[in-house]
Amino acid sequence: MATTYLGVIIEESLEKKEVLKKVKILKTKIEKVTPQHQTPWLKRWTLHTVKIPDNQADAMATELSTSLDSQHSWYADFKNDRFHYIIFRNKVFKVDRSKPEKYNDVTQYGLTLGIPEHQLDFSPAIKQWQR
Instruction: List, for residues 44-81, the tens digit of each pLDDT value.
Output: 789 999 999 999 999 999 999 999 998 888 899 999 99
Is residue 125 a part of any domain in this protein?
no
Is residue 93 a part of any domain in this protein?
yes
- Beta strand pairing status for 91-96 and 44-52? unpaired
Within 13 A of 127's CA, how many CA atoms are on the CB side?
Answer: 0
Is residue 87 a part of any domain in this protein?
yes
pLDDT score of 45: 81
pLDDT tens, residue by residue, 91-123: 999 999 999 888 999 999 999 998 888 788 776
Is residue 80 a part of any domain in this protein?
yes
Q: Is residue 54 within 8 Å of 2, Cβ to Cβ?
A: yes
Q: How many Å apart are CA 77 and CA 52, to the nearest integer?
A: 11
Q: Which range marks the domain in which residue 64 is found?
A: 5-119
How many CB atoms are located within 10 Å of the residue 54 CB? 14
Is residue 44 a part of any domain in this protein?
yes
Is residue 130 a part of any domain in this protein?
no
Q: Is 114 left (phi over 0), alpha (psi -120 to 50) or beta?
A: left
Domains identified in the chain, total number: 1
Is residue 129 a part of any domain in this protein?
no
